[in-house]
Amino acid sequence: MRVVQIHGPNDVRVDEAPKPVVGPYDVLLKIDACGVCGSDLTFAKYGFQREGGEPWPLGHEASGTVVEAGNKVEGIAPGLRAVINPTGAYDNIIGNGGSEGAFADYLLIRNAKLDVHLLPLPEGMSAERAALVEPMAVALHGVNRGNVSVDDKVVVFGAGPIGLGAVFWLKRRGVKNIVSVDLSEARLAIARDLGATATVNPSKTDLNEALGELHGITAPVMGKPTVGTDLFMDMAGGPTVLESIIKIAQFHARIVLTAVYAAPVSLDLQTMLLKEISMTTAVSYPDELPDVLATLAQISEQDIKPYVTHRFAFEEFASALQTAKEPTSGKVMVYFD
Ligand SMILES: [Zn+2]
């Protein structure tokens, strides 16, 4: 069977590997669809290796069909269609440094437990929709950590798959004022389709001025103007994003950080102090998977359509990876036959 593995910086290969042997507590899943994640691109760029220098199997946003289940596995039988929880257990990390990755024809899930490692799909749910559960859960966790209320004026920095997911959830929460910020016009168009009430491209428009117009100008702090944004969500991770947020944030503004910063950044803590800014971080999805699965099963195709912009067969994996790097793409989906 084929498996995608990282062998070094920018050295991602589709390798041949023997089909895994299924132990009494294990399950073998035939992968149906798997999305390309921003973290996959980061792992590939830096050439992440497993302990001992072994290649790093890639892929964690996957859905599939059970083809084999060990005789000690409870509640999971061949034919079950499911989405994987790639962080399902400490010894069962998929595509994030574990021994298995989901960009593969088959995925071995060790010590597989129903609702822990595999969440069954509701009747009729497509493989693609199911493969969106993981990234949409990351986005929802960010929104949950932001304690958002409908009257909050929100800015989402970054309109990649996570930022777009946040826009989707904010709209579903009934938030009335959602501004999406990105340098890509194509991504901003997707954000508008998913529910952003306004978009700003800082390469074309002065962001501070735009936010002043969209969220109002609020009382100056230390003589400096501030804007009426209640919640800033940093889902972009640009080197100056946090700095610019702190500069224009009003008294008691909140920041949620989900972006991965590869290097430390300096923060103006004095200004944060005087504005009593609260900042929190959000990573992964400790509780969100079941809710996201239920919601994505219910919504109409129209609600989520703009989110997936490109689809590739597994044979075209290199193109899928390349496309996900382009700032014009939303979610890039890989299909297996
Ligand atoms: Zn992901």
- Can you tell me the mean pLDDT for 223-240? 94
**What residues form DSSP beta bridges with 255?**
232, 279
165: amino acid identity, one letter: G
Kindly state the percentage of the chain with pLDDT values over 90. 93
| 143 Cβ contact list (under 8 Å, min separation 6) | 166, 169, 170, 173, 233, 256
- Given a cut of 90, is residue 262 above it in pLDDT? no
> What pLDDT does 94 receive?
94
User: pTM value?
Assistant: 0.96
Distance 136 CA to ligand 1 centre (A): 9
For residue 63, give both structure tokens: 């859905």
Q: If you measure from the C-alpha of residue 102 to the centroid of ligand 1, how many angstroms do you get, rounded to a whole number?
A: 11
Looking at the predicted structure, is the pLDDT value of residue 251 above 90? Answer: yes
Q: How is domain 139-281 classified at the CATH fold level? A: Rossmann fold (3.40.50)
**In angstroms, what is the span from residue 96 Cα to ligand 1's centroid?**
9
Q: Is the pLDDT of residue 330 over 70?
A: yes
What's the gap in Å between 328 CA and the centre of ligand 1? 18
User: 209 Cβ partners below 8 Å, 6+ apart?
Assistant: none
- pLDDT band of residue 272 (cuts 50, 70, 90) is very high
Tens digit of each residue's pLDDT (9 = 90 or more) over 97-110: 989 999 999 999 99
Cα 237 to Cα 53: distance, rounded to the nearest angstrom: 28
By C-alpha distance, which of 302, 282, 289 is closest to 168?
302
Report the separation in Å between the CA atom of 333 and the middle of ligand 1, taken as the mean of its atom positions: 12
The two structure tokens encoding residue 322: 């390349």
Mean pLDDT of the chain: 96
For residue 74, give the H/E element and its range: none
Q: In the chain, where are the structural domains located? A: 2-131+299-335, 139-281
Q: Kindly tell me if the per-residue pLDDT of 90 is higher than 70.
A: no
pLDDT category at 91 given cuts 50, 70, 90 is low
Quote the ligand 1 centre to 300 CA distance (angstroms).
23
Mean pLDDT confidence for 57-69: 98
Q: Mean pLDDT throughout 6-21?
A: 96
Q: Can you read off the two tokens belonging to residue 5?
A: 């593995």
Per DSSP, the three-state class of 20 is coil
Ligand 1 centre distance from Cα of residue 60 (Å): 6
| Alpha carbon of 289 to ligand 1 centroid (Å) | 13
Distance 159 CA to ligand 1 centre (A): 15
CB 309 within 8 A of CB 329: yes
CA dist list (Å): 131 to 7, 181, 292, 311, 328: 25, 25, 11, 12, 20
137 Cα to the center of ligand 1, angstroms: 9
- 162 alpha carbon to ligand 1 midpoint, in Å? 9
- In degrees and rounded to multiples of 5, residue 110 shows phi and psi of -80, 145
Residue 138 C-alpha to ligand 1 middle, in angstroms?
A: 8
Q: Which CATH superfamily is domain 2-131+299-335 in?
A: Medium-chain alcohol dehydrogenases, catalytic domain (3.90.180.10)
Instruction: In whole angstroms, give the CA distance from residue 96 to residue 259.
Output: 17
Mean pLDDT for 37-65 is 95
Q: 292: CA distance to ligand 1 center in Å?
A: 14
> Does the pLDDT at position 315 exceed 70?
yes
Confidence of residue 51 (pLDDT cuts 50, 70, 90): confident
pLDDT in tens, 160-206: 999 999 999 999 999 999 999 999 999 999 999 999 999 999 999 99
| 38 CA to centre of ligand 1 in angstroms | 7
Q: Tell me the average pLDDT across 228-252.
A: 95
Q: Which of 279, 329, 278 is nearest to 307 (CA)?
A: 329
Q: Is the pLDDT of residue 89 over 70?
A: no
Q: Note the pLDDT tens digit of each residue in 92-149.
A: 789 999 899 999 999 999 999 999 999 999 999 999 999 999 999 999 999 999 999 9
- DSSP H or E run through 330: none
CA separation, residue 223 to residues 214, 215, 226, 281, 328 (Å): 21, 19, 9, 29, 39
